[in-house]
Structure 1
Amino acid sequence: MTDATNTSVTDDYFDQLFHNSDDPWAFKQRWYERRKRALTLAALPRERYARIFEPGCANGELSAELATRCDRFVGCDTCALAVELARERLADFPRAEVLQARLPQQWPAGRFDLIVFSELGYYLSLEDLHRWIDRALASLTDDGQLLACHWRTPIEGCPLTADQVHEVLQQRLGMHRQSYHESDFLLDVWAWEQGSVAQKEGLR
């Protein structure tokens, strides 16, 4: 892994991954990935959202699950092949759209009550991560939430680690945090509002 934190991973990296495989991280096959996806969905404090944004949606495996939990879903990826695959995966969801965009420079219009930041942060430079957080904060609704999930093992060529990404998020967001951490990954949800799921349903 490089110590440099001033250069985000380039588009060519992702283009090559998807050129070689339509599922480069084995989202469909690995129990690790399927279990992590289930934990991610279970960690969401609300059963349903108005509008969800998933940057770096890859081939749309998590996107298809998120689309069942919202009225409108927006995904994006920098890789054209990934966008094509995600659109195919979401073909049964008429209120879902997938954009080709490079973040944080190109950000979708509108506001979101959930942003899912999954396995993306460590590909960003520290400067781009801060810019990404600026854009996220500006586009979250007043009761919005942000979920972040990242693999903890350092990845060769990535400017940041999962722990660094989540530390910066904690410092910058200024929101209430709920955490589920394992040796393999970090899973955090930040929300403006306080109170547990049980409290909101009058159980406490």
Structure 2
Amino acid sequence: VENWSQGTMSKAAVKISADLLSNPLCEQDQAFLESMTALDTAMRRMDAFNQEKVNQIQKTVVDPLKKYSSVFPSLNMAVKRREQTLQDYKRLQAKVEKYEEKEKTGPVMVKLHQAKEELRPVKDDFEAKNKQLLDEMPKFYQSRIDYFQPSFEALIRAQVVYFTEMYKIFSELTDQIDQAGLTDEQRERETEAKLSDLRALSIVADD
């Protein structure tokens, strides 16, 4: 969400600076033209750095997380297969136990032998599936931090680089368009005066 908001903001800033640069005032006032040119350049640099940050985060955070999450369907399927095999195992085991409890006549012994033969591959299949899950699930769970740590570090580095560059861009922009010799109080008064002039225009609607 934050990256989307920053991307939207940088695109909007580029649009605003481009619109200001095409304003007729730029043709009439050289100082205004220089300020708007500096602003437009800064906004385009900001947008470029934002796009670079988004690309980096996509490669180092979003894509690895998608790859990690893609493992879950196969794990869920393995658990379901184990559960199905367990049900088959229990059903056949109960069948064997039923014949073992009966009187040991010839036909019963034949059926008991057949039931045991039917049970054996199902039992082996269940034990194999169960052992695989018991081996792999703890490893998968324990590896989650090692997997996420590089992505987390990459996310932090991308944000640090981005905001460092933003500081540089806006510091340079301030130096280019700032009026030398004015105190913060004087700048505030001047801004308020300009806002008052804007509010006085007939095209400005009252809230």
TM-score bracket for the superposition, by shorter chain length: under 0.3
TM-score when normalising by structure 1: 0.22
TM-score when normalising by structure 2: 0.22
Which structure would you say has the larger Rg?
A: 2
**Which of the pair is proportionally richer in helix?**
2
